[in-house]
Amino acid sequence: MSVRSSAAQSLRYGEGQLFQFDLEPNRIVRRHRPPEPSANFVADVREQLQEPLNFPPLELAIVPEDKIAIALDRQTPGAAQVIAGMWAHFERRSVRPEDVTILQPASWQMGKLPDPRSALPDSVRDQVKWVVHDATDKKREVYLANSAGGERIYLAREIVDADVILPVGSVGFDPLLGIRNASSAIYPGLSNVDAMAKARGQDHSELRPEDDRPLRQLQDEVAWLLGVQMGVQVLPGVGGQPAGLLCGALDAVTTAGRIWLKQNWYVELPQRCEVVVAAVDADGGETSWEHIGAALQTARNLVQRRGKIVLISSLAAEPSEGFAFLRQSETPREALKPLRIESPPDLIPASRLASAADWATVYLLSQLNSDVVESHCMTPLASELEVVRLLERSGSCLLLEGAQHTFGYVA
């Protein structure tokens, strides 16, 4: 008679929560470990700005009279430390704080953004302008040029009128772009509602992240039309903390960011597994349905047909409008067609949930009422103990931490 021996496992999720459980090692197909946060991110920023990739130090790229626009992508880890590091270079060149504008893109999703000026010295903090772009304000937009495809490009006045444009963002997978880079902060988020609506569309789940996407090509063209030469990309670690920084010529930073992303956040399996356990952390804020949707996409790519997807999260946000189609449909698959026709702002996470629930059984540990979870085609898990019991009855398992940042595929 053989005795199966278990080994202690743990997965971080939510806002610093830790799910601990026992699992037989021979049942673990793979355990994905995300990069740890930088031990000294401020020093990383200082070093990269002083020695950029294929570019001179930041302070040599500007002159005192320059009007500087920092296009800062939403939800960039360590944004305040990056802005403070950049200001140190501006200050050495005698740039006036009132000539610096931090511009963040518009978004269909509401929510308060943290002040990216919080790490600046008190003497200049309020003089540096911080603007969250209003894509509905026609007075704020300026015509830039026609794209190669004949599309008229409109952008925020602050970005068009600037002498120096410095895009700052986080490298990561994106359902529409494949891979985000620094210039992703500029377009369409700093354009108008028409550009944002046109960009919003169906998730390109049939493509790999590195495959060409029309929107990503247009973003690169817009950056070229603006004369953007330098970019800054934060490397995301677990828990929404920065793992490092890349700074330099836009092409060099984009290439280096893609290599790092593949080394740290790609999850490749030789074949599908029976269970995917996806732990979703709060990314420095609240867990969102966008996080859940991203984790589901990777799990859907890697789990067997009629397998199990176990989401471990602290999700508390009520579902937004697009998820109503799941409540109104008898099966998850039936929700996909009206979702694509109506194209609500949350089309992508809602479609990802419908697709995953059609493919496998989705279990969710969250802070939501069980009736809400069940009405959205998922099985609620009331506690970590219920997750443990579920895993005891399951087969081969893939363990994902920081699952919303991953991209998974079967080789």
Question: Are 165 and 148 within 8 A, CB to CB?
Answer: no
Q: DSSP letters along 161-180, please?
A: S-SEEEEEEE-EEETTTEEE
> How many domains does the chain divide into?
2
pLDDT at 372: 96
The reply to whether 283 and 323 lie within a common domain is: yes
Place of tokens 């998922």: 378
pLDDT at 1: 37
The reply to whether 121 and 165 lie within a common domain is: yes
Ranges in the chain, pLDDT < 70: 1-4, 109-111, 201-203, 284
What 8-state DSSP symbol labels residue 213? -
Residue 72, strand partner residues: 168
For 247-304, how does the pLDDT look when each residue is reduced to its tens digit (9 = 90+)? Answer: 999 999 999 999 999 999 999 999 999 999 999 998 767 899 999 999 999 999 999 9
pLDDT at 202: 54
**CA-CA distance, 391 to 389, in Å (whole number)?**
5
The reply to whether 246 and 318 lie within a common domain is: no
Q: DSSP letters along 240-275, please?
A: G-EEEEEEEEHHHHHHHHHHHHHHHHEEEESS-EEE
We report the CATH number of the domain holding residue 72 as: 3.40.50.11440
pLDDT at 2: 43
The reply to whether 323 and 351 lie within a common domain is: yes
**CA-CA distance, 111 to 253, in Å (whole number)?**
29
pLDDT at 309: 98
The reply to whether 82 and 194 lie within a common domain is: yes
pTM of the predicted model, to two decimals?
Answer: 0.91
* Residue 208 main-chain phi, psi, to 5 deg: -85, 155
We report the CATH number of the domain holding residue 355 as: 3.90.226.30
The alpha carbon of 180 is separated from its chain's Cα centroid by a whole number of angstroms, namely 8
A 10 A CB-CB count for 290 gives: 19
pLDDT at 207: 81
pLDDT at 4: 55
For 15-73, how does the pLDDT look when each residue is reduced to its tens digit (9 = 90+)? Answer: 889 999 999 999 999 999 999 999 999 999 999 999 999 999 988 889 999 999 999 99
> Residue 123 belongs to what domain range?
41-263
Percentage of the chain modeled with pLDDT above 70: 97
The reply to whether 197 and 276 lie within a common domain is: no
pLDDT at 75: 84
